[in-house]
Structure 1
Amino acid sequence: MARNHKKSAEKKTPLIEVVDLFCGIGGLSYGLKSQGLKIKAGYDLDYTCEYAYHHNNDAEFRYEDIRKVTAEEINNTYSKGAIRVLAGCAPCQPFSSYAFKNKNKDPNKYSLLDEFGRLVEEVQPDIVTMENVPQILKFKLEHVFQRFVETLEHNEYNVSYKVVFCPDYGIPQTRKRLVLLASKKGKIELIPPTHTAEDYVTVKDVIGGLPALEAGERDPNDALHKARALTPLNLQRIKATPANGSWTDWPKELQLKCHKRKSGKTFGSVYGRMDWNKPAPTMTTQCTGLGNGRFGHPEQDRAISLREAALIQTFPKNYQFFIDERSVSTTLASRYIGNAVPPKLGEVIGMSIKKFLNQ
C-alpha cells in the first residue's frame, strides 16, 4: 500500500512545448531546450538562419512573415495536452538607443510586437515569454510595450517583467534585457539572481584558455576562432592600448579627428580592450570589429574572434552556425551572434517556467 501511495505522490513532469517567434539562429530556443522544454518550431524572416536553428534545436524553421502567421497554424503545431509556450524577441533595433535619435522611423518595424500580441490573443497559449531591450519601457511611439501588456491582461494573463542585468545570472557580459513572463495559471516570475558581483563570470573565465591569435589569423582547429585583419594604423593603435585602456591612452598622432572634439569624450570605450577580470561589454552585431566598442582582446593585439564573441554570448562550442564551417562568413556570423538571445538567458527563463509549473 505504501509503495502505491509513493508512486501516486510522484509528480509527472508535464510536456512543455514552445513555438519561438523571431527565432534567429535559436539562442532562446536552445536555452529553453536545455531545460527540457520541447521546441516545436521557430519563425523568422532571415532564411539564412534555417540551418543553425534546425540543426541545434531539432525543430522546424519556418520562413514566414509574422504578420501572415495564423493562430490555426500555431495551434496545430502543439501536441494535444501539452503546456503551450509562445516565446519571442521582436527585433530590438526599433527600440534601441539609436531609435530615439533617428527621426526617420519606419512605422512598420514597430508593429511586430503588436503582431506578437495578436497571436497571443488568438492562440491563447498557457505561457508567454518575451525578451527585448530595456529602452522599450520608455518608448513612447504608440506605447508599444504598454499595449502588449494590456493585451495580455485583457486576456486574463498574470504578467510580470523586469530588467535583467545579465551578470546576475552567470552571463559574462554587461547586457541588460527586459524579460517578460505571463501565464493564465497563476503568477509567474523570473527566478532570483544566481550570481553576485563577487562571483560574476569574467572574460578570463570564458575565453582565457583559447589559443592565441594574430590579427587576421584563424585557428586551424576551430573555424570560428578567427580575428579580423587590422590596417597598419589600427595595429599601431591596439599596440598603444594598455590593459583595460582605450583610445584615450594613445598619443595624439594616433587619435582620430572625432576623438579630439569635445563630443569624442562620450565614446571613451571605443577601440578599448576588455578587462580580464570583469564581464565583457554587450555583444553587438559589430562586436568583432576593433573600432565598434570595447571589443579589443585583453592582451593580444586584435579584436575578439567570432568564437570568443560566441562564448561570451554563452553559445557552447558545439553550436554549429554554418553547414560547412570551413567557409565562415565573419559578417554573417557576427550578425547571428550579436542579434541572438544568450542561450544562458533562455535557460534561466526555462528554469523559471519549470519552477512555476512545479508549484
Structure 2
Amino acid sequence: MRVSLAEPLFDLASAIPEARMPVSTTGDKPLKVIDLFAGAGGLSEGFRQQGFEIVAGSDIDPDACATYKRNFPNAITIHGDIREPEIRARVIAAGKGADVVVGGPPCQAFSQVRNATRLIDDPRNSLYREFVSMVDELRPAVFLMENVPGLAQMGVKEQAEEDLSLGGVYRVLPQVLDAADFGVPQTRKRLLFLGIRSDLGVEPAAITGTGATSQLSLARRKKGKYFVDASDGVGEKLLAQLLDPEDLGVTTAAQAISDLRFLQTGRREEDIVVESLRTPESAYQRLMRQSLPDVVQNVSVPRINEDTVLRLKAIPGGGNHRDLPERLLARYLTGQKWGPSTDSGRLGRAHFYAYRRLHPSIWAWTLNTKADSVYHYAFPRALSVREFSRLQSFPDHFTFTTDSRRGTIAGRIDGGQAHSRYRQVGNAVPPLLAAAVAQEVKKLVGKAERRK
C-alpha cells in the first residue's frame, strides 16, 4: 500500500512548541487533507472541488470504503476500527504531513453532560475522543469536525469546543450551517467546528450562505395545495433566485433531477451511457455533469408495491399522507400484505413520514438512509441512488458501490447492496456544503501565509 508522507510546503515559526506540523502554502502545491470517519467521502469531495489533495480516508464500513477507494483512487483508503492499534497506526502514518484533518465522528452520549460527565470522558463517545486524539497527534494547520446540530442544542457545544482547542493550541469556531443555503437542493443542518492552529495568527471566521432557509418555506394552504412562502421583501428576492434555473445559489428539487425523469420504476440497469441523457435543464444539472465519463452509474430504480402507487397518485408534490382521501387510509388496499399491520386497520403514526413527495419548486427535506424516505414530485416512484445523490450535491461522476465480498464483514451494516448505497448517500455531508467550508480554509491559510 502506498503511504504518502507529505513534505511541508512552507514553514512558520511556531509560537507553541507542541504545534509540530507546518502548514502548506496555497501556491504551487495543494493543501493535503485526511478524512476520518469518511463514509463515502462527502467532505473529501467538497475539499477536492476546491483544489485540495485528498491523501487518505478511513472508515469502519467496508462498503463505504469501497466507494471511497473508487472515487479517490490516489488516496489511501483504510478500512477498520480506528480504536484498534494497527488501524490507528496506519491512519497516523497516512496523515503525517497533512495540512487539514476533517471528519464526522459519531457522538452519542449528549445527555450525560447533565450528570457532570464530560463529553470526552463518556465511553460511548470513544470515536469522538479518537478524533480529538488524532488532531492532537497530527497537529494539522486546520481541522474540521462536523456533527448533528443536536449537539449544540443539548448544551455540549462548549465542551467540544474546549476539547478541540487542546488547551489553546487551536482557535475553534463552532457554527450551525444549513446545506440549502449553499446551493444544495436539500435542507440539512450540520454543526461544524472549524479550528486553526493558534500559532498561525489568524481567527476562523463565520461562514455565510444565502440565508434562504430562514426566509422561504413550503406552506400548505389547504389539503392538496402547497406553495413556497416568502416571509418579506428579502424573501421575495430569494424566491426569485430560487426559481431561476441559472442561479446556483439556491436550488430546487426539479432543478436538481428533472433531466432524470425518464427513469422508470423497477429499472434494473445500474448504468446509462452519457449520450442518452437528456439535455441539462438548469445550471445545477450542468454542474453535476462536469467531468463525466462515458457512463453514469447508480440509475436503477426500486420496485414499488401497488398500494404505494395508489397513494402517491393521490398526493400532490410537497404533500404527504395527510393529503390522502379517506378511501386510501386503510392499511392495505389491494389485498397484498406488506410491512407491519396496525390494530386499527388504518395508517398509523408510523406512517407520518411515509408517502412524502418532493415539491418541484423548493429544496428537499433532510434525506435519511432509506430509498422510501422520498418520492418523485411528478411520478409515483422512488428515486434512484443517482437522484438521491443529486439532492446531496454529489456530482454524476461520483459512483456509489459496495465491497465485492458477500456476507458478513467487520463493520458492514445489514440490508444488502442497494440499501447500502442509499445509506451511504443519506449519511454523507453534502459536497457543496463541504466546498464552502474548504473555501474558507483556503482563505485562512492564505492569511497565515501572508503573515510569514
TM-score by length of 1: 0.81
- 1:28 corresponds to: 43
- Matched with 2:355 is 271
- State the alpha-carbon separation in 2 of the partners of residues 331 and 146 from structure 1: 36
Secondary structure of the residue aligned to 1:329 is helix
Taking the aligned partners of 1:203 and 1:323, their CA distance within structure 2 comes to: 27
Shift, 1:74, TM fit: 4.6
Residue 246 (structure 1) aligned to one of 316, 320, 341: 320
CA 1:96–1:201 in structure 2 vs 1: closer, same or farther (change >3 Å)? Answer: farther
Aligned to 1:128: 143
AA of the residue aligned to 1:316: P
Whether 2:259 is the aligned partner of 1:209: answer yes
CA shift, 1:53, in A, is: 0.8
Residue of structure 2 aligned with 1:312, choices 391, 408, 433: 391
User: Any conservation in 2 of the 1:52–1:320 contact (CA below 8 Å)?
Assistant: yes
1:43-98 residue CA offsets vs partner (Å, 9 max, x unmatched): 11111222321221221111132223588655543565xx6211101136x3799x
In 1: Cα distance, 2:66 partner to 2:347 partner? 46
Query: Deviation at 1:132?
Result: 1.1
CA contact 1:113–1:148 (8 Å) conserved in 2 = no
Q: Structure 1 residues 27 and 188 mapped into 2: Cα distance closer, same or farther (>3 Å)?
A: same
Q: Of 310, 319, 331, which residue of structure 2 is paired with 1:236?
A: 310
Deviation, structure 1 residue 11: 7.6
Give 1:340 deviation, angstroms: 1.1
SS of match in other structure, 2:266: coil
Q: 1:78 to 1:262 in 2, by over 3 A?
A: closer
**What SS does the aligned partner of 2:423 have?**
helix
TM-score norm. by structure 2 comes to: 0.65
Distance in 1, Cα, partners of 2:251 & 2:438: 20
CA distance in 1, matches of 2:63, 2:26: 41
> Are 2:176 and 1:163 aligned?
yes
What is the aligned residue count?
Answer: 327
Q: Cα deviation per residue 1:119-144 (whole Å; 9 max; x = unaligned)?
A: 2223222211011110012346xx4x
Structure 2, gaps ≥5 residues long: 1-24, 112-121, 213-237, 242-249, 273-295, 332-341, 405-415, 448-452
Report the secondary structure of 2:175's partner residue. strand
Question: Judging changes above 3 Å, is the alpha-carbon distance between structure 1 residues 62 and 75 closer, same or farther for their aligned structure 2 residues?
Answer: closer
AA aligned to 1:353 is: V
Q: CA deviation at 1:35?
A: 1.0
Answer whether contact 1:213 1:300 (CA < 8 A) is retained. no
Letter paired with 1:177:
R
| Aligned partner letter, 2:320 | S
Opposite residue 378 of structure 2, the aligned amino acid is E
In 1, are the aligned partners of 2:92 and 2:134 still within 8 Å (CA)?
no
Q: Quick one: distance in 2 between partners of 1:229 and 1:108?
A: 42
The amino acid across from 1:234 in the alignment is T
Post-superposition offset of 1:272: 1.7
Question: Matched residues in 2 for 1:147 and 1:306: separation?
Answer: 37
The answer on whether the counterparts of 1:274 and 1:297 sit within 8 Å (CA) in structure 2 is yes
Partner in structure 2 of residue 301 of structure 1? 380
Flag the structure with higher helix content.
1
* One-letter identity of the residue aligned with 2:427: N
3-state SS, counterpart of residue 260 of structure 2: coil
Letter in 2 for 1:206: A
CA contact (8 A) 1:26 1:340 kept: yes
> What is the CA–CA distance in structure 2 between the aligned matches of 1:246 and 1:195, rounded to whole Å?
26
Distance 1:113 1:233, change over 3 A: same
1:336 aligns with 2:424: yes
CA contact (8 A) 1:95 1:133 kept: no
Q: Given the alignment of the two structures, is residue 224 of structure 1 paired with residue 308 of structure 2, yes or no?
A: no
Partner residue in 1 for 2:195: 182
Deviations 1:332-353 (A, max 9, x none): 1101111111111221121110
Shift of 1:251: 2.1
- Pairing partner for 2:163 from 151, 169, 173: 151
1:323–1:68 distance in 2 versus 1, CA, 3 Å: closer
| Amino acid aligned to 1:148 | A
Partner of 2:438: 350
Is the aligned partner of 1:193 residue 2:209?
yes
Q: Point out the more displaced range, 60-69 or 156-165.
A: 60-69
Deviation at 1:111, TM superposition (A): 2.1
* Partner Cα distance (2:251, 2:322) in 1: 27
What is the aligned-residue RMSD (CA, Å)? Answer: 3.2
Q: How far apart in 2 are the matches of 1:272 and 1:297?
A: 9
Q: In the alignment, is the contact (CA less than 8 A) between 2:393 and 2:431 conserved in 1?
A: yes
Structure 1 residues 183 and 14: CA distance shift in structure 2, 3 A: farther
